[in-house]
């Protein structure tokens, strides 16, 4: 089997297309990569789309697209005429489908997204791919092995987050709770979001945030921060979307760092709560769990190691890519109980 993988490859090691690509190869697939963003930046949008068409020959069985916001609908239409199987994965969270997906997905045979239930069905009904399926973004065991050195955990609590125009009230309240603590380090661009809020300006006036906001980090620097962290706190952009969670859960877990996640519908089907991961449903629970596990090192590290083992054994890129290939080839898969397919 041969796959033409159109994605984002000039990225850091945790980039989704890079991890999927390695997973396909581990399943015995021959993969040819094409970085559509870097090609478009260098040669322009029209030439990038023309290049895709020239490279998509009958030597390939599947075209696998990561996001694909620069790909024109006419390009996918022509690929379909070549009788190639088209597939696209989308890992972002948007309440309503982005416009580019509305134009592309009618020409996509298999659409994979990281939300299920009502959200998956909404995207399917609006955008009309042939098949829609829920997947979770996989982890890469190679990275856990590469960064397996023991480091001093000198950061008590870490929150990594970026600016999003859409934010739920639940996520906002978690951030304000963390701002009120003196032992939380922030990494990312979350302050841009909070500058829209008068309460955040009051925090600034009190000077309690001095030195606590750190720049956006990625790659090796991001991984090193995770490894130095005792407790990572997750707050998805939306708490009520079935099956959806931020990649940070996978990142912290891959490198053996304890992670407290907000509850989201379906998490109990992915992880064993209390053994693999600790889950909060409100600020009081979050406060209780942070204060408890910050001072119970052995129990905290046991749960962190359980999560790491779960991810590396069950949700690695070899198995998740096998899931994708089975759905494309057979229209179904029995690899996981939580699979959802709409067609």
Q: Which domains does the chain possess?
A: 2-138+316-342 (3.40.50.2000), 141-314 (3.40.50.2000)
Q: How far apart are the first and last CA of the chain?
A: 24
**Token pair for 229:** 């962290």
Instruction: For residue 313, give the 3-state DSSP assignment.
Output: helix
Instruction: For residue 296, give the 3-state DSSP assignment.
Output: coil
**Token pair for 12:** 């850091």
Going residue by residue through the chain, which has 343 residues, state the pLDDT in tens, using 9 for 90 and above.
999 999 999 999 999 999 999 999 999 999 999 999 999 999 999 999 999 999 999 999 999 999 999 999 999 999 999 999 999 999 988 899 999 999 999 999 999 999 999 999 999 999 999 999 999 999 999 999 999 999 999 999 999 987 566 678 898 899 889 988 989 999 987 656 555 566 665 655 554 555 567 777 889 999 999 999 999 999 998 999 999 999 999 999 999 999 999 999 999 999 999 999 999 999 999 999 999 999 999 999 999 999 999 999 999 999 999 999 999 999 999 999 999 999 9
Separation CA 28–CA 19 (nearest Å): 15
Determine the pLDDT at residue 193: 58
Q: If you search the block for the tokens 């693999």, which residue do you land on?
A: 276
| Chain centroid, CA 248 distance in Å | 7
Instruction: For residue 134, give the 3-state DSSP assignment.
Output: strand
Determine the pLDDT at residue 179: 85
Separation CA 165–CA 184 (nearest Å): 23
Q: Which long-range contacts does 51-57 make (Cβ < 8 Å, 24+ apart)?
A: 52/6, 52/79, 53/78, 53/79, 55/4, 56/4, 56/82, 56/84, 57/82
The overall pTM is greater than 0.85: yes
Separation CA 9–CA 197 (nearest Å): 36
DSSP-derived secondary structure for 64-112? EEES-TT--HHHHHHHHHTT-EEEEEE----SS--HHHHHHGGG-SEEE
Q: Are 67 and 40 in contact (CB under 8 A)?
A: no
Determine the pLDDT at residue 285: 98
| Chain centroid, CA 1 distance in Å | 26
Q: Are 268 and 205 in contact (CB under 8 A)?
A: no
Separation CA 91–CA 146 (nearest Å): 25
The dihedrals phi and psi of 184, each to the nearest 5 degrees, come to -110, 130
Determine the pLDDT at residue 211: 58
């Amino acid at each position: 089997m041969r796959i033409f993988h159109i994605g984002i490859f000039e990225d850091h090691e945790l980039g989704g297309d890079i991890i999927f690509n390695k997973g396909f190869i581990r399943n015995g697939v021959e993969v040819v990569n094409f970085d559509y963003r870097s090609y478009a930046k260098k040669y322009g949008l029209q030439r990038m789309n023309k290049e895709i068409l020239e490279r998509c020959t009958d030597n390939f069985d599947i075209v696998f697209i990561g996001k694909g916001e620069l790909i024109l609908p006419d390009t996918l239409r022509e690929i379909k005429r070549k009788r190639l199987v088209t597939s696209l994965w989308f890992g972002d969270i948007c309440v309503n489908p982005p416009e580019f997906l509305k134009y592309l997905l009618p020409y996509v045979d298999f659409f994979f997204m990281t939300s299920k239930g009502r959200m998956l069905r909404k995207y399917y009904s609006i955008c009309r791919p042939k098949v829609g399926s829920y997947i979770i973004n996989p982890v890469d065991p190679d990275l856990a092995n590469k960064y397996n050195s023991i480091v001093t955990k000198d950061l008590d609590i870490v929150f990594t987050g970026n600016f999003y125009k859409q934010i739920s009230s639940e996520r906002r309240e978690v951030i304000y709770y963390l701002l009120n603590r003196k032992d939380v380090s922030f990494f990312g661009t979350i302050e841009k979001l909070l500058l829209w809020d008068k309460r955040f300006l009051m925090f600034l006036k009190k000077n309690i945030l001095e030195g606590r906001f750190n720049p956006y980090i990625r790659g090796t620097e991001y991984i090193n921060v995770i490894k130095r962290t005792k407790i990572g706190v997750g707050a998805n952009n939306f708490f009520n979307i079935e099956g959806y969670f931020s990649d940070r859960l996978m990142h912290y877990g891959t490198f053996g760092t304890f992670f407290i996640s907000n509850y989201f519908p379906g998490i109990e089907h992915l992880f064993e709560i209390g053994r693999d991961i600790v889950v909060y449903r409100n600020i009081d629970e979050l406060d209780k769990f942070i204060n408890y596990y910050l001072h119970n090192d052995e129990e905290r590290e046991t749960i962190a190691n359980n999560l790491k083992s779960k991810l590396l054994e069950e949700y690695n890129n070899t198995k998740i890519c096998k899931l994708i290939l089975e759905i494309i080839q057979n229209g179904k898969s029995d690899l996981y109980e939580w699979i959802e397919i709409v067609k």
